[in-house]
Amino acid sequence: MATAEPGLQAGDGLPTITRDVLQNTAAKIGIRVSEHLEEEFIETLAAARDAMEKVLQMDDFYPIPDTNRYPRIDIQAVSPDENPMNAWATKVTVKDIQPDEASLKILAGKRIVIKDNVCLAGVPCYLGTDVFSDWLPKTDATVVTRILEAGGTLIGKATCESFSAFGISNTSFLGPIGNPYDKTRSAGGSSSGCGVLIALGEADLAIGGDQGGSIRLPAAHCGIVGLKPTFGLVPYTGIVSNEISHDHTGPMSVDVLSNALLLRAIAGVDGIDDRQIAGTPFPAQVPDYPTLLTAARTARSLLSIGIPSNATGREPGSTRKMRVGILKEGLEIEHMDPHVRDTVETAARKFKELGAEVVEVSVPGHIQASLIGRVQRVSQSNNLLGRANGTRQLYLTEFIEKVLPWTQEKFDKLFCNSANILISGLYADEHYPQLYGKTQNLFRKLRQEYDAVLADVDVLVMPTTPWVAKVMQPRNASIRDHYKDYNGLAESIQWN
C-alpha cells in the first residue's frame, strides 16, 4: 500500500509544501536533504513561506509626494506631429502652485525634463519598453522632489533606451531617436531623449542616468553638457536601477553653468539611498557650484599664475600652474576615429595657450576597463529577475511586479541587448558565481591607478566616444548588426 507523502497543507490556494517541493528546491544548488530530516525541513520551509506570504500582503512603504502643492497637470502622450524625433515619452506640467515662493528659488523659470526611468507619481513610466505598458509609479524620485522644491518646472519625461541598456538611440519601442544634427544618426543613449530635447531647445535642463555612459554619450553626440557625478553625490532614490553599484543620475544642460546650477539643486544625502557614502554632503552643505564656477571663470590668472598647491595635497603655501593630463590610453581605444583623436588632442593643448601645463599621462589599466565593465554589466540581470539586494534603499517593488514573471511573450519584446544581458546573467550566476565580486575588486584597483595619476594632474582629458555619431540600424536588426561598427543604411529605419 502506498503511503501518503509528508507535507503541510497550505491555505489560501497556495501549493502544499511536499517532499518533492523541498527536494526540488534543494536540488537547485545540487544538494539533497537527508530522508530522516525531510519532515522537519518541510515544516520549517512551510513556516518560512507563511511568513513571506504575510509580508507580501502588507502595504508597501514609499515616500508620499506632495501632489497638492505640486499637482500633475495635463498628462498626455505626444502625437507624432509634436514629436518628430521621438524624444518625448510623456508631457506633463508639474510645478509649485505657490508661485511667489517658487520665484525666489534657484531653478525658478527653468523647464526641466527627466529621463523615463525616473519615477514621477501618477505619470506613466515606460522605460523604453513595451514589456509592460501600465506602470504608474506611486512615488517621486528624490531628484524630482528637489527640483520642485528649488522652483523648477517639470515639463515631461524624455524617451530613454529599452531598459536603459544601450548606447545607441534606436532601441525604444517609441521609435528611434535621431541626432538633432542628422536624423539618421544616433543621438547616443540611454538618456537619448534628454540629449535631443536640450539640444533642440525644448527644455532648459534634464535629469539623465548613467551607468556605462548614458549621460555622457548623448551629451557628446548632441553637443550639450552632461555630468556623471561622483558616485553617491546625487541620490538615486526612486529611479529604476540597472546595477546598484553603478547607478548614477545627473544633470544635462546646454552649458556648464546651467549644469552646475542643477547639480547644486539635486545633490546631497537624502537619508534613504545608502549608496551615498561617507563624505557626501547634506543638502545644506552642498557647495555653491555656480558661484565657484563663476569665480573660477573670472579669475583669469588661475591657469597662468597658478592655483594653491595645498588644494591638491602638494607643498602647502606655494602656487603652481594648473596641470592638464592627456590620458595616453584614452586615445588608444580600438576603432578610434583618427579625426576624433586629433580633435581632442588639439582642444586639450589649447589649455597650454591659456597658461596651463599640459602633459601626457598613463593609466595602463584603462584599456581593460571596458572589458571589466562589460562583464560586470551582466549583473543587471539581477534587477530584471527581482534579485537586487544588499543595500538599504528604496526598492521599486511595483516595477518588479510589472516585469515578473518572465514569459516568452515578454522576452520576445525585449530589445536584443537587454535579452542578451538577461541570458548572460543567468549563465554567469550558474558558471561564474565569483565573477561579480572579482570585477568589483578590479575596479577598486583601477580607481587606485586613476587616483595615483590625479595626484599629479588636476584633470584628465580623453574622448567621450572614440567615434562620431553613427548611422543607426533598424530596431529589429540582428544582434550582430547592432553590435558591429554602425554603418547601416539610413533608409532602413522606420520613422513614426
Cβ–Cβ under 8 Å, residues 246 and 276: no
Q: Where are the alpha helices (DSSP H) in 200-324?
A: 216-222, 256-266, 289-298, 301-304
Set 115, 157, 228, 321: catalytic member? 115
Residues 6+ apart with CB under 8 A from 228: 210, 215, 216, 248, 250
Active site residue 115: yes
* Per-residue pLDDT, 10: 52
Q: Distance between CA atoms of 390 and 424, rounded to whole angstroms?
A: 21
* Per-residue pLDDT, 319: 62
pLDDT at 92 over 70: yes
Q: What is the pLDDT of residues 413-425, one digit of tens each?
A: 999 989 999 999 9
Sequence letter at residue 76:
Q
State which H helix or E strand residue 324 sits in.
strand 323-327
Residues 6+ apart with CB under 8 A from 64: 139
Set 190, 258, 381, 418: catalytic member? 190
Q: How confident is the model at residue 305 (pLDDT cuts 50, 70, 90)?
A: very low
pLDDT at 486 over 60: no
Q: Which of the pair, 403 or 305, is modelled with greater confidence? A: 403
Question: Residues of the chain with pLDDT > 70: what percent?
Answer: 91
Set 192, 214, 258, 418: catalytic member? 214
Q: What is the pTM of this model?
A: 0.91
Please give the grid coordinates belonging to residue 395. 526598492
Cβ–Cβ under 8 Å, residues 417 and 166: yes
Summary mean pLDDT of the chain: 90
pLDDT at 340 over 80: yes
Average the pLDDT over 257-286 and give the result. 96
pLDDT at 237 over 80: yes
Residues 6+ apart with CB under 8 A from 184: 178, 471, 472, 490, 493
Q: What is the pLDDT of residues 51-80, one digit of tens each?
A: 999 999 999 999 999 999 999 999 999 999
Q: How confident is the model at residue 488 (pLDDT cuts 50, 70, 90)?
A: very low
* Per-residue pLDDT, 485: 58
Average the pLDDT over 169-198 and give the result. 96
pLDDT at 296 over 90: no
Sequence letter at residue 338:
P
Average the pLDDT over 351-358 and give the result. 91
Q: How confident is the model at residue 297 (pLDDT cuts 50, 70, 90)?
A: confident
Active site residue 413: no
Q: Which long-range contacts (CB under 8 A, 24 or more apart) does 287-293 make?
A: 288/264, 289/260, 289/261, 289/263, 289/264, 290/257, 290/260, 290/261, 290/264, 292/260, 293/256, 293/257, 293/260
Q: What is the pLDDT of residues 13-46, one digit of tens each?
A: 677 999 999 999 999 989 999 999 999 999 999 9
Residues 6+ apart with CB under 8 A from 52: none
* Per-residue pLDDT, 491: 35
Average the pLDDT over 198-219 and give the result. 97
Active site residue 214: yes
Q: What is the pLDDT of residues 93-148, one digit of tens each?
A: 999 999 888 888 999 999 999 999 999 999 999 999 999 999 999 999 999 999 99
CA distances from 132 to 98, 200, 339 (A): 36, 30, 42
pLDDT at 291 over 70: yes
